[in-house]
A and B are shown apart, each in its own frame.
Chain A
Amino acid sequence: MNIAVYILDIIIYIGIFSIVAISLNLEYGFTGLGNFGKVAFFLIGAYTYAILSQAGVPFYLCLICGGIIAAIGGLIISLPALRLREDYLAIVTLTVGEILRLIVKTESSIGGGVWGISVKRAISISFPAGFSAINKTVINAGVQIVLIFGILALCFIVLQLLTRSPYGRIMRALRDNELATESLGKSRAKYKAQVFMLGSAIAGIAGGLFAQYIRFIDPYMFMPIVTFTVWIMSLVGGPANFTGALLGATLVQIFDRGTNILKDYITLPIDPVNLQYILFGVLIILVLFFRPQGLLRESKFTTRPLKLVYEKRRSDTSNKKS
């Protein structure tokens, strides 16, 4: 494969998984909700996109519907699960992912069952004659990058604003001490359900983007390993820092592709796919041991007014000294 095309492909994957990773940061890093079924909402978005686009619905509506249905799914799961202890929430979300995959695998009327379903690209360009195949691929990839990184930027800004506000303060409080937050007048069920819905919606949109980019989806693309990969991205980059999620997604994708490229150049005694996931597992355990807060830390200030007060104070004291 042409090297430029290959790099563009990596960049697109980084974009898609960055979106999922920031949604996990929202849920886990800021609010303390251990969602072990991220892949379920990714799957909902992907299949919603695939089915609606086959019915001729415009791509932006497909994406939005994927987000909405994933959010509703998130709400339905959150109603019983959010009142529960974190380990129960983990079991429920993990099993939901398995059940959804079971459903799309079994019901061939939904998305072709095990044979999968082909998906149209969101934006297809009709090229004039005389364009080389490679140029077409590069331009198409460029369009994908604009679309995906545009949506990533939008999600990033919304989440950044949300977490740096009094709302974000409550999210952090819920993570630190749920009962104390409740006894300070905040309904934890309400806040957790909202966060879970928003996080699921974003994962759903990412699923739609994924489906339209690879143009074909089947149930085997939504194994638990997807959830786990996203967790690695979040934990490595920094669970309570959205830039960290981008960093994590980038590093994990490069590592992922790197091991794939490596197999073309050196012969390994074991299959690189197996090796890669073994290394992922080792990596995550090492991160938990030596840097559980991730590469990038949480910002010190919850809101801008607080930061301004802090800076004013510091300049006041330094003026006094000088």
Chain B
Amino acid sequence: MSLMLICDDLMNVNWIQILLNSAVTGSLYLIGAVGLTVTYGLSGFPNFAHAEFLTLGAFIGFWIAEDIGAPLPVAFIVAFLITGIISVLCYRFIFQPLAKKGASTIHLMVASIALGFIIRYSIGAVWSWTPMYFSIKWPSYIVGSVRIAGQWSLLIVVALVLAFSMHLILIKTRIGKAIRASSSNPDLALASGINVGRIILITWFAGAGLAAVAGIFRAVNTQIWPLTGWDIILPIFAVVVLGGIGNYYGAIAAAFIIGLAENVGVVFLTSIGLSTEYRMAIAFIIIVITLIVKPQGLAMLFRRG
């Protein structure tokens, strides 16, 4: 394909639509990744089972909304609560005692992968491995040249509300201040009388709950099967790494940067004749480049986060 043709292709792309899609993708990654980055920062290891929290949330939501027939908001809330509680139990009965026994970071990571397999295959056993689809039909709106699906606008609203309320919690409340203190220096926080153990439990609860919400959105947009969460493990880790581990504001910026990079990347991939499957490779490249160039990610821009 000649360069001229590529340029021609790019000219014909609906860039406003791309920007909107990027915001949607970024919102999904933000909700999915925020729990991972905060627990990673506080507990000191990446919880690879976080992807399974997305999947678990999606299935609980599916069960509530499709099998029981409750309205979607109920599905969101129940999925949030159950996944959060399971996450806290996992931390309390697996990771915390392991860490107390002096397990290395590698051991904790292996344990989290093991936990991921337990959850993933339990889901497979309960709900089977056949992909399923949410039956809810969303209205979609055409504004000018842009198509907006109903679930997209909801997703963006949820992400914005989350971003803003998290900001308020971090800045205004005692818990938020404690989270910030603990993630920047756990020892100091401990010495200053902050109950770091409780803070960690709260972050494991809320982080996994948000992952569940992201999982439902992902499942509504695509399909639901035991790999719903694992399918987007690369961009989620890319958000964590690019944003700077444990850094909430970095994660917001990173989520939207990666959303944009993926959507613009897909346009380029198609125009040079490569498969759009490679959109995941974009997240991978971002991870590798960040770790080589600046392992602390965007965190240096958001010191106080």
In the complex, A touching B, CB below 8 Å? yes
Report A's interface with B, CB cutoff 8 A: 28, 32, 34, 36, 80-81, 84-88, 90-92, 94-96, 98-99, 102, 105-107, 224-225, 228, 231, 235, 270-271, 273-275, 277-278, 280-282, 284-285, 288-289, 292
CA distance A273 to B226 in the complex (A): 14
Instruction: Please measure, in the bound complex, the distance between the C-alpha atom of A274 and the C-alpha atom of B295, giving whole angstroms.
Output: 37
**8 A-B Cβ contacts within 8 A?**
A34-B106, A88-B291, A90-B46, A95-B284, A99-B281, A275-B121, A281-B114, A292-B103
Task: Decide: B110 and A235 in contact? CB cutoff 8 A.
Answer: yes
Beta-carbon contact of B277 and A98 below 8 Å: no
Which of A36, A106, A277, A289 is the one whose CB lies under 8 Å from B117? A277
Assess whether B181 is interfacial by the CB under 8 Å rule: no
A-side contacts of B287, CB under 8 Å: 91-92, 95
CB–CB B109/A34 < 8 A: yes
* Stretch among B10-18, B94-102, B172-180, B192-200 lining the A interface: B94-102
**B124: A residues at CB distance < 8 A:** 271, 274
B111 close to A284 (CB less than 8 A): yes
In angstroms, Cα B50 to Cα A31, docked, is 28
Q: Which residues of A contact B277 (CB under 8 A)?
A: 102, 105-106
A84-B295, A87-B105 given as contacts; is B122 within 8 A of A278 (CB)?
yes
Instruction: Known contacts A92-B287, A98-B280; decide if A274 and B106 are in contact (CB<8 Å).
Output: no
- A271-B125, A278-B122 in contact; A92/B288 too (CB < 8 A)? yes
With known contacts A106-B278, A271-B125, A274-B124, A80–B106 Cβ distance under 8 A: no
Closest partner residue, chain A, to B118 (CB atom): A281
Binds A, one of B71-79, B155-163, B233-241: B233-241
CB-CB contacts below 8 Å: B208-265 with A:
230, 233-234, 237, 241
Contact A289 to B114, CB < 8 A, known contacts A95-B284, A102-B278: no
A292 contacts which chain B residues (CB < 8 A)? 103, 107
Complex contact B291–A225 (CB within 8 A): no
A residues less than 8 Å from B101 (CB atoms): 289
Inter-subunit contact B278/A90 (CB<8 Å): no
Bound Cα distance from A28 to B110, whole angstroms: 12
In the bound complex, residues from chain A placing their C-beta under 8 Å from that of B125 are: 270-271, 274-275, 278
Q: Interface size on B (CB < 8 Å)?
A: 42
What number of A-B contacts does a CB cutoff of 8 Å give? 117
Beyond contacts A92-B288, A224-B230: 9 other A-B pairs, Cβ-Cβ < 8 A, are A32-B106, A36-B109, A85-B295, A90-B106, A91-B237, A274-B125, A275-B121, A278-B118, A280-B117
Is there contact, CB below 8 Å, between A285 and B45? no
- A225–B275 CB distance below 8 A: no
Q: Which residue of A lies closest to B123 (CB)?
A: A274
CB-based nearest A residue for B46: A87
One of B121, B241, B284, B292 near A278 (C-beta < 8 A): B121
A224: chain B residues within 8 A (beta carbon): 113, 230
Cα distance A28–B185 in the bound complex, in angstroms: 29
| Chain B nearest Cβ from A224, distance in angstroms | 8
Q: Which of B48, B110, B277 has the most CB of A within 10 A?
A: B110
Q: Cβ of B284 and Cβ of A99 under 8 Å apart?
A: yes
Q: Is A277's CB under 8 angstroms from B121's CB?
A: yes
Q: Is the CB of A91 within 8 A of B46?
A: yes
Q: Find A36's partner among B104, B107, B113, B284 (CB 8 Å cutoff).
A: B113
Chain B min CB distance to A30 (Å): 13
C-alpha spacing A228/B284, complex, angstroms: 20
Verify B115–A281 contact, CB threshold 8 A. Answer: yes
Chain A residues with CB under 8 A of B288: 80, 92, 95
Name the B residues within 8 Å of A282 (CB-CB): 114, 118
Nearest chain-A residue to B124 (Cβ)?
A274
Question: In angstroms, how far is the closest chain A Cβ from the Cβ of B129?
Answer: 8
Query: Quick one: which of A91, A92, A107, A285 contacts B115, CB cutoff 8 A?
Result: A285
| Pairwise interchain contact A92-B291, C-beta atoms closer than 8 A | yes
Contact between A289 and B121, CB atoms less than 8 A apart: no
Q: How far is the CB of B205 from chain A (nearest CB, A)?
A: 21
Complex Cα gap A285–B114 (Å): 7
> Within the assembled complex, what's the spacing in Å between the Cα atoms of A229 and B186?
34
B233 touches A274 (CB 8 A): no
Q: Do A284 and B284 touch (CB < 8 A)?
A: no
A284 touches B114 (CB 8 A): yes
- Top 9 nearest A-B pairs by Cβ distance? A281-B118, A274-B125, A34-B106, A284-B114, A277-B121, A281-B114, A281-B117, A270-B125, A80-B292
B241 cross-chain contacts in A, Cβ below 8 A: 88, 91
B49 to chain A, nearest CB (A): 10
Q: Is the CB of A98 within 8 A of B234?
A: yes
- Cβ of B114: which chain A residues have Cβ within 8 Å of it? 228, 280-282, 284-285, 288
Chain B residues whose C-beta falls within 8 Å of the C-beta of A32 in the assembled complex: 106
Interface string of B261-305 (1 = CB under 8 A from A): 000000000000001011011001001100110010000000000
Residue from the list A80, A81, A95 in contact with B234, Cβ < 8 A: A95
Complex Cα distance, B187 from A238, in Å, reads: 33
Find the B residue at minimum CB distance from A94: B48
Q: Which of A28, A80, A95 has the most chain B CB within a 10 Å cutoff?
A: A95
Q: Kindly state the separation between the CA atoms of A98 and B103 in the bound complex, as whole angstroms.
A: 27
Min CB distance B134 to A, Å, is 23
Query: How far apart sit A96 and B284, CA to CA, in the bound complex (Å)?
Result: 8
Q: Shortest distance in angstroms between B123's beta carbon and chain A's nearest beta carbon?
A: 9
Tell me the bound Cα distance from A84 to B110 in angstroms.
18
Cross-chain contact B291 with A81 (CB below 8 angstroms): yes
Closest B residue by C-beta to A275: B125
Contacts of B46 in A (CB 8 A): 87, 90-91
